[in-house]
Amino acid sequence: MSRLRIFYVDNYRPSHRIILFSMNIRQCKFFARPDEMLNLFKIQMPDILIIDHEMEPFDGLEMTRLIREGEVGTNRMLPIIMFTARTTRGLVERARDSGLNGVIAKPASVYSVYTALSRVATERTAFVELEQYFGPDRRRQKVEFDSEERRSGAGRGPRQHSIGQKI
């Protein structure tokens, strides 16, 4: 964690600054507004971007869309985590559809921030590009393949597997 470079955009940051420092994250630049970050974003890219949902002149979802569409910065696959006090199903779905890697509910705990940062820092998430979406593969399900042929073949009947074996 100490080697991560993080940009953090939020108009209220004292509590989250404490959380990040408690995880030994020292390379963190804080910005009160997303437009303040954009100037530095063109020349220096962080490893992870943490943004707040409600910001001006554009919110965290719009910021994510700008990055994913390639209008801002140079890395469209930058891991982005959003803090929000509103965790309604609709907002979480819009966050997923905008291309965010994760959402953390406020008030955040050290554990929730550490878990989210660890996941995006260590997992290599596949990105997909569709006509209306560019971002992390939204299928978070990990299905293990047991290398056993499960299709019916010539002269063999279909194999039956209980669903409990695969879950």
Token pair in block for residue 113: 């921030």
Q: How confident is the model at residue 14 (pLDDT cuts 50, 70, 90)?
A: low
pLDDT at 80 over 70: yes
Specify the residue for token string 């879950």. 167
Closest to 71 (Cα-Cα) out of 42, 32, 100: 42
Mean predicted confidence (pLDDT) in 57-85 = 88
Taking each helix axis from N to C end, the angle separating 110-122 and 14-22, rounded to the nearest 10 degrees, works out to: 60
Q: Does residue 112 sit in helix, strand or coil?
A: helix
β-sheet with 80-84: strand ranges across: 27-31, 5-9, 48-52, 80-84, 102-105
Q: What is the pTM of this model?
A: 0.76
CATH class of the domain defined by 5-136: alpha beta
**What is the pLDDT, as a whole number, of residue 164?**
46
**What is the pLDDT, as a whole number, of residue 2?**
77
Q: Does residue 115 sit in helix, strand or coil?
A: helix
- Domain extents in the chain: 5-136
Higher-pLDDT residue of 145 and 115 is 115
Q: How confident is the model at residue 82 (pLDDT cuts 50, 70, 90)?
A: very high
Q: What is the pLDDT of residues 113-123, one digit of tens each?
A: 999 999 888 88
Higher-pLDDT residue of 123 and 23 is 23
